[in-house]
Structure 1
Amino acid sequence: MKNLKSLASVALLAGTLGLTGCLDNDDSLQNNYPPAGVISIYNGAPNNAGVVVFADQNQVNNSPLKYSEALAYTSFYPGKRLFKFAQGNSVTSLLEKEFEIKVDSVYSMFMVEDAGELDAVLVDDNWSETSSDEAQIRMINLSPDAGAVSLLIDDSETPVFDDLTFKSNSEFEGLDAQIYDLTVVSSTGETLATATRVELRGNRVYTLILRGYEESTENAKKLDLQLLTNYIHY
């Protein structure tokens, strides 16, 4: 488990593949705060209009966190914390779920949706030391109807990540820092989503998200890929 004091900086960058996003640095982690864990929070619920998050009675974000948006890593006191997700300007919770936060631990929380029901999953962010010639990347499946999926890169027939079911994630893997073509396939080998010329840079840690619905309806968000940058070592 990594020690937060060893992190020179922690940042979170969210953007749909092929688009440019904004870097949001959490300077509070560099100060001398009491022992805590840190969590980034991502809204992966396609039909959700935006949520305000509470940890027990403490409000985490001021503006509603919309679908495909992420909050930068934020410090939380350790122990069992009840997370509540509510619509903006509403005191009624859409979802309440308790998670145990450990000292000096780094997590990502993903809000998901299945058949109109909201849920949240908490994932340990355990990456290795970064290097200038390698990127670290993991994948998480937030699509409720895509089934088990695998990730292929370039022309390789051997998956980098294999058989990821809904709400499951891989561990972080090291890949050479270069440009890749990414293909997500179903358990039967059908191509579900692609992203071309995706640049993975050294000294960076990424999360690749499969989000949206494989079965398209009039109002459903379609299946696509999004790349989050969890950490950059400057």
Structure 2
Amino acid sequence: MKNLKHLASIALLAGTLGLTGCLDNDKDPIEYPPAGYISIYNGAPNNTGVIVFADQNQVNNNPLKYSEALAYSNFYPGKRLFKFSQSNSVTSLLDKEFEIKVDSVYSMFVVEDAGTLDAVLLDDNWSQTTAGKSQIRMINLSPDAGTASLLIDESETPFVADLAFKSNSDFKGLDSKIYDLTVVSSTGETLATATRVELRGNRVYTLVLRGYKQSTENAKKLDLQLLTNYIHY
């Protein structure tokens, strides 16, 4: 469980809340209503952009396009119905209910499953950050890549093993340095690579496998994207 000061620093980093008063020991702390914190990422390759609603409250003004993310923002706790629609349309592409807990941090991923939208909500449960290590997890958002594993540099032992579509690993620590990343299938076929990726200390990352392995003319190809969840300054 992350404490309120830690949650405030996440929100401040994301630019969603002005919580500097919470971090100033010379002033009385400001009381904020109970909330959970969610970032939202669009990983649906054929989606042109979504407007997100939590119950009747609109979350974003501009369409969230493929491979884009909304920074952490606060949401009232409890069971919330999330609605995803196209811009300037009242037709819902997806309605899905999630339970938001007080003082919890989440990432929501919009995905494409058999041609329709779906969404998954992950607990962002990382450990205390340190200057010498980064923390990273992986999520498989490719609808057709099958089971995927992550190899680091020349190691033949997967750093993350056997992630099915819409599944993720836990956050794991890596020394702060530059790495070569290779994602392979269950048969050892190379699915995607990223070379000279710098992972810095005091940072938390999510590595996203996204797109289609069997790409058509208009489909987004399979590749990797590194998201930064948190930076401790």
TM range (shorter): over 0.9
RMSD: 1.5
Q: Are the aligned partners of 1:203 and 1:232 in contact in 2 as well (CA < 8 Å)?
A: yes
Amino acid at match of 1:132: A
The Cα shift of 1:28 comes to 4.1
> Which gives a bigger RCO, structure 1 or 2 (Cα 8 Å, sep 6+)?
1
In 1: Cα distance, 2:151 partner to 2:35 partner: 37
Report the CA distance between 1:114 and its aligned residue: 2.0
Identity of aligned residues (%): 81
User: 1:25 aligns to what?
Assistant: 15
Shift of 1:227: 0.3
The Cα of 1:218 is off from its aligned counterpart by: 1.1
Q: Which amino acid aligns with 1:99?
A: F
Task: Give the deviation of 1:8 after TM superposition.
Answer: 5.4
Query: How far, CA to CA, are the matches of 2:51 and 2:122 in structure 1?
Result: 20
Q: Structure 1, residues 196-220: CA drift from partner, whole Å, max 9, x if none? A: 0000000000000000000111111
Give the stretch that moved more between structures: 196-205 or 26-35.
26-35
Match of 2:229 in 1: 230
Give 5+ residue unaligned stretches, structure 2.
Answer: 23-30
Distance 1:28 1:95, change over 3 A: farther
The CA deviation string for residues 99-133 of structure 1, in whole angstroms up to 9 with x for no partner, is: 00000000000000023111000000000000000
Deviation at 1:76, TM superposition (A): 0.4
Aligned residue in 1 for 2:197: 198
Aligned partners of 2:136 and 2:207 also within 8 Å: yes
- What is the TM-score of this pair, normalised by structure 2? 0.93
TM-score (norm 1): 0.92
Q: CA–CA distance in 2 between the matches of 1:29 and 1:114?
A: 38
Aligned partners of 2:222, 2:168: CA distance in 1, in Å?
Answer: 17
Q: 1:225 to 1:11 in 2, by over 3 A?
A: farther
Q: Are the structure 2 counterparts of residues 118 and 201 from structure 1 closer, same or farther at C-alpha, using a change threshold of 3 Å?
A: same
The match for 1:20 is none
Stretches of structure 1 lacking an aligned partner (at least 5 in a row): 13-22
Higher Cα radius of gyration? 2
